[in-house]
Amino acid sequence: MTVPEERLAFDSGKGQVSAAFARPPEPVATLVVSHGAGSGMDHPFLVGFTRAMNEQAIATLRFNFPYMEAGRRSTDPQPVAVAAWRAAFEAAVARAGGGQVFAGGKSYGGRMASVAVAEGMPAAGLVFLGYPLHPPGKPERVRDEHLYAIEVPMLFLHGTLDPFADPRLLKRVIDRLGTRATLLEVTGGDHSFNVRGAKKEPREVGASLAPLVASFIRELV
């Protein structure tokens, strides 16, 4: 049965932004998820993922960053994105009924979640749906320094053909993070977890990741 969604808005620090919260009966935990750089919170991938998480008894809150809410293409400066993340997290905590709240997101959204946690946002753990370790074709520009300041468990879901994260570089980061990090690979997956020859709609692709994430969360609560 589809879990009803509550549509809401909250102050991001740079104006009101939209969000959607869904709480299944007796949720195990709550996961706040944010979108990638080029798509908003209602992209089919993210909707499919959160709906499937609800079916796994995980409550979800997904939200827009201010730039997306305003219809701009350029992503927000990091301080603005982190402020939006903190506000979204607080909105989720207020609805979580005392349960644990996790944070994560697709690409840019997940990276901004990790920056927020590195700066003190008290998430129970982090979930990365394609961590953008470096820009495509520029493996020398690795975005990892803040990750080593994070003490909560982290799940890296990664397509082995993702141009935003060379597998060798990502494994080096995972090894350095030690027991804090778990890497799960989607063989042949690109940055959107599409696998060549396997025709799936984005909503279905997002939903396919939910059992992996739910298992990670269940082991921690």
Q: Where are the domains of the chain?
A: 5-218
Residue 205: predicted pLDDT: 97
d(CA 110, CA 105): 4
End-to-end CA distance of the chain: give it in Å, rounded: 24
pTM here is 0.96
User: Which residue's entry shows tokens 């730039």?
Assistant: 67
Strand order in the sheet with 58-63: 5-11, 16-22, 58-63, 29-34, 101-106, 126-129, 154-159, 181-186
CB atoms near residue 179 (< 10 Å): 6
pLDDT of residue 189: 95
Q: Which homologous superfamily does the CATH classification assign to the domain defined by 5-218?
A: Alpha/Beta hydrolase fold, catalytic domain (3.40.50.1820)
Report the alpha-carbon distance of residue 91 to residue 113 in Å, rounded.
15
Note whether 206 and 36 are within 8 A (CB).
Answer: no
| Per-position DSSP letters for the chain, written without gaps between them | -PPPEEEEEEE-SSSEEEEEEE--SS-SEEEEEE--TTS-TT-HHHHHHHHHHHHTTEEEEEE--HHHHTT-SSPPPHHHHHHHHHHHHHHHHHHTTT--EEEEEETHHHHHHHHHHHTT---S-EEEES---S-TT-TTS---GGGGG--S-EEEEEETT-TTS-HHHHHHHHHHHGGGEEEEEETTB-TT--BTTB---HHHHHHHHHHHHHHHHHTT-
Torsion of CA 216, 48, 162, 134, to 10 degrees: -80
Instruction: Specify the pLDDT at position 1.
Output: 65
pLDDT means per 10 residues, the chain with 221 residues, are 90 97 97 97 98 98 98 96 98 96 97 98 98 93 96 97 94 96 96 90 97 98 94
Between CA 121 and CA 108, with CA 22 as vertex, the angle to 5 degrees is: 45
What's the 3-state SS for 88-108? HHHHHHHHCCCCCEEEEEECH
Whether residue 71 contacts residue 155, with contact meaning beta carbons closer than 8 Å, is answered with no
